[in-house]
Chain A
């Protein structure tokens, strides 16, 4: 896994160039010239202190509308995606695993999954899945993640535990077959057993054809999802890039050096 030179196509998967982002109706700049490239087949981790712009980065990649891109670009297989809607990005392969998955009363998890899978398949010209094929796929993937049929009948994320919500995110990821997965602090609020189950689910999806951006505050998750590269984000920029050993260094020394360096 992670030998990019063997699998890289014409383009890198994700290229972020000099990205400047501020919150709409606010002059505060959150991302200040961020550069990042994640090639196909690799797993990159973004680590950084609170307030460094980690969640903003994940939302901007997924296309949330509360942000304004004032400069720079996000290229996806060589093409800019910043004018694309969130659903168009999802159809083109971008998947964001939310730090806080949203609860939606009145929408059964199964209905939601089927609507999403068929929307994405339609947009990709793959045709909708038959009910039987869909059910077969859900049962298989849910089983691997220890998600019961009973959970899938319940309203989306309503009354789910923290671990159940995150496993449900990974199930959605597995069903939608994305090529670029952004995991926003997937480890937050999880105990060690839950982190293991979620990580195994993510690792099972790793392939030479897709890429992962794992955003986390703590090194712990990276023991389970081992990255090819680790980037340190501070005050809206990548201030250091290294191998997986960089995460361990950060665990020892904290973010203090980088905060000072960026300031």
Chain B
């Protein structure tokens, strides 16, 4: 603490100091024009002022990042990987036939990407180039701005190296797939920013997959900004399957125009610590958002889902269904905030968070928050946690199904309810269900 006559000095930990020095050392080499450089400087100032979020920050009560992150890993350098290694890592999703955009250690890898297979409907620009381009910034001025109070997002703005900027101007024939690969053999930091802009009336599916090719634990900080045009339909699916030594901070910032339909599914299997944040704003009336998630965690894994749904226009519907399966000492966190502003009459907002605890030491923390300032709305939330129901288990076993298989069937059924949202995309749905089955019985594959 400083002298009372001077400003209080912030006591920082080694990780915070590390991120600040990484920025100082790399700031001139990071991509972007003067506007971007200014945004980076301001973001770093916010990070310097507040540091990593800790348990005294309400939104981070159950996930104390200052305690969890002991050091800042070195910002990764441009790297390359073999097509074969990448395809092996995302093998379950190959059947979706998606156009692929690959980021290796936080940098766009053109030789591992084939966005052209999505046709003329889709314009893809590596973010590093887009940040240098005034025309790009002008064309995407309508995209949602990132929240200012969140210092993990500030860190992303300050340090982002690359990513993918996608403009969907007509409905493409195939899904789009951003593959985020960590390949560094030593622990490294990757900071990426993706942008998805969807024109009015267009339908598109975007998959984001995060995988590790090596055992080294990484720090991944990823932000995806999504602007959905009027009457557009967007499917947004995220799979976190990184190694179990990685720290993964992912934030989606989503704006929906009038009558847009947004369906999101997040599945988390990997990571030592995962925080999935979604900031969603209804920017026009009569739009609909479904955000579902399934996370399967064991050992000391920690998975936090934090949603902030902002209803500022009338007649919008939001639904969130999250299912966690927690074994050993794993911990699941769900924080769901629904805000209904005075103008947002006829809002229909509901959320449900459930956890299946496979061990007595597993833990689930759930915190719903409803802030309602309109009077003609329907809002609700629910949360449950518990072990596998013995009555269900006995019924299956009484029909000859051995205990292990019966448990697996019940866990898959539990997780399956969150994935039902994308049931009509058979390859994608099938891949996620298969990953859940594999998680339950790693030896069977």
Contacts and interface: CB of A to CB of B under 8 A. Distances in A.
Interface of A: 62-66, 85-87, 89-91, 95-96, 98, 101-102, 104-107, 112, 115-116, 119-120, 123, 155, 172, 176
Contacts of B403: 85, 87
B414 A86 contact: no
Given A104-B410, A106-B416, A115 B401 contact: yes
Nearest to B408: A115
B149 interface: no
Contacts of A91: 400
Given A86-B394, A104-B392, A119-B405, A172 B413 contact: no
Interface string B366-410: 000000000000000000000000111011111111110110011
A62 B391 CA distance: 13
A242 B345 CA distance: 71
Given A85-B403, A102-B392, A115-B405, A96 B398 contact: yes
Interface in B392-436: 392, 394-403, 405-406, 409-410, 412-414, 416-417
Contact of A116 (B392, B401, B413, B417): B401
Given A87-B399, A112-B399, A116-B396, 19 more contacts: A62-B398, A64-B398, A86-B394, A86-B397, A87-B397, A87-B406, A89-B398, A96-B398, A98-B395, A98-B398, A104-B396, A104-B410, A106-B413, A107-B410, A115-B401, A115-B405, A119-B401, A123-B400, A176-B400
B419 to A, nearest CB: 10
A107 B398 CA distance: 16
* Chief secondary structure at chain B's binding surface: helix
Contacts of B397: 63, 85-87, 90
A123 B391 CA distance: 23
A87 B394 CA distance: 9
Given A102-B391, A104-B392, A120 B413 contact: no
A106 to B, nearest CB: 3
B365 to A, nearest CB: 24
A95 B397 CA distance: 11
A87 B410 contact: no
A120 B400 contact: yes
A131 B399 CA distance: 19
B117 to A, nearest CB: 34
Nearest to A173: B399
A96 B394 CA distance: 11
A14 B409 CA distance: 31
Contacts of A64: 394, 398
A146 to B, nearest CB: 21
B405 A106 contact: no
A24 to B, nearest CB: 12
28 contacts: A63-B398, A64-B398, A65-B394, A86-B394, A87-B397, A87-B399, A87-B400, A87-B401, A87-B403, A87-B406, A89-B398, A98-B395, A98-B398, A102-B392, A104-B395, A105-B413, A105-B417, A106-B414, A107-B409, A107-B410, A115-B405, A116-B399, A116-B400, A119-B399, A120-B400, A123-B400, A155-B413, A176-B400
Contact of B395 (A65, A66, A102, A176): A102
Nearest to A101: B395
A90 B391 CA distance: 16
Contacts of B392: 102, 104
Contacts of B409: 107, 112, 115
B403 to A, nearest CB: 7
The 8 closest A-B pairs by CB, nearest first: A106-B413, A90-B400, A120-B400, A86-B397, A116-B399, A102-B395, A87-B397, A107-B413
A63 B398 CA distance: 8
A94 to B, nearest CB: 8
A197 to B, nearest CB: 21
Interface in B128-167: none
A218 to B, nearest CB: 24
B118 to A, nearest CB: 33
Contacts of B417: 105-106
B400 A119 contact: yes
Given A85-B397, A102-B391, A104-B392, A119 B402 contact: yes
Interface string B21-64: 00000000000000000000000000000000000000000000
Given A102-B392, A104-B392, A119-B405, A90 B398 contact: yes
Contacts of A90: 397-400
A102 B413 CA distance: 14
A245 B397 CA distance: 36
A63 B3 CA distance: 73
Contact of B413 (A63, A96, A101, A104): A104
B416 A87 contact: no
Contacts of A85: 397, 402-403
B11 to A, nearest CB: 49
B292 to A, nearest CB: 13
Nearest to A103: B392
A115 B416 CA distance: 17
A93 B413 CA distance: 27
Contacts of B390: 65-66
Contacts of A115: 401, 405, 409
